[in-house]
């Protein structure tokens, strides 16, 4: 499997780090990474880790300025792309088909080749323009996976919450995350009485 990961400049760039680590645990998964300039700034503001801690996980790291990179062409076979987090600027560019950088061009390529695209939009509250752009992105074939809080898996930390989101993302590609706790159902006391 070959997956492209785009990290844009929204808050929550550490989710990209968690996702890359989970993808590297998948047997035979090749990861191509593209990071926006805004994501680099956000990484420096939100984490204490050097950026190299993120980039060293990927098999290939592409410059967001390189519109001639392998992932900019449909003839380069991939299984799809994940944008995590997906800034509202990146979402707007995707929904409008405005491929002015490699990250958005790679999404555009995946969509035109009918490959899976998962967007993890990070903004709150969402304005009408954001919601419209998410609907447009969904209408053109993207799967929208907002990083919502989870409670049914009894999370104890921020890591638990992030791992839940990563697990939901990986499910879109038929992969399992070892740190994801799925819902197993509840006992129906009324049915037991029948």
Q: From the annotation, which residues make up the binding site for FMN? A: 9-11, 36, 87-90, 122
As a whole number of angstroms, the distance between CA 124 and CA 127 comes to 8
Q: What pairing do the DSSP bridges indicate for beta strands 30-35 and 60-63?
A: parallel
Nearest C-alpha neighbor of 20 from the set 10, 36, 32:
32
Q: Measured between alpha carbons, how far is residue 87 from residues 35, 41, 132, 148, 169 in Å? A: 12, 13, 14, 15, 17
Backbone angles phi, psi at 34, to 5 degrees: -135, 130
| Residues that constitute the known binding site | 9-11, 36, 87-90, 122, 152, 168
As a whole number of angstroms, the distance between CA 193 and CA 188 comes to 9
- Looking up tokens 């190299």, which residue turns up? 52
Nearest C-alpha neighbor of 115 from the set 141, 146, 76:
141
As a whole number of angstroms, the distance between CA 39 and CA 102 comes to 14
| Residues that constitute the known binding site for dimethylallyl phosphate | 152, 168
């Amino acid at each position: 499997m070959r997956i492209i990961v785009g990290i844009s400049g929204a808050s929550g760039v550490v989710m990209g780090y968690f996702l890359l680590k989970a993808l590297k645990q998948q047997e035979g998964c090749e990861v191509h990474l593209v990071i926006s300039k805004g994501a680099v700034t956000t990484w420096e503001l939100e984490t204490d880790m050097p950026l190299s801690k993120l980039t060293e996980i990927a098999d290939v790291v592409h410059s967001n300025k390189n519109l001639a990179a392998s992932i900019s062409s449909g003839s380069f076979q991939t299984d799809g792309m994940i944008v995590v987090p997906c800034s509202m600027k990146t979402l707007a560019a995707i929904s409008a088909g405005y491929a002015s950088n490699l990250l958005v061009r790679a999404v555009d390529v995946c969509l035109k080749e009918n490959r899976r695209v998962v967007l993890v939009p990070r903004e709150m509250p969402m304005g009408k323009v954001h919601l419209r752009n998410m609907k447009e992105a969904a209408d053109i074939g993207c799967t929208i996976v907002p990083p919502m809080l989870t409670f049914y898996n009894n999370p104890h930390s921020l890591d638990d919450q992030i791992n839940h989101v990563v697990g939901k993302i990986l499910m879109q590609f038929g992969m399992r995350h070892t740190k994801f706790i799925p819902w197993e159902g509840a006992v129906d006391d009324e049915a037991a009485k029948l």
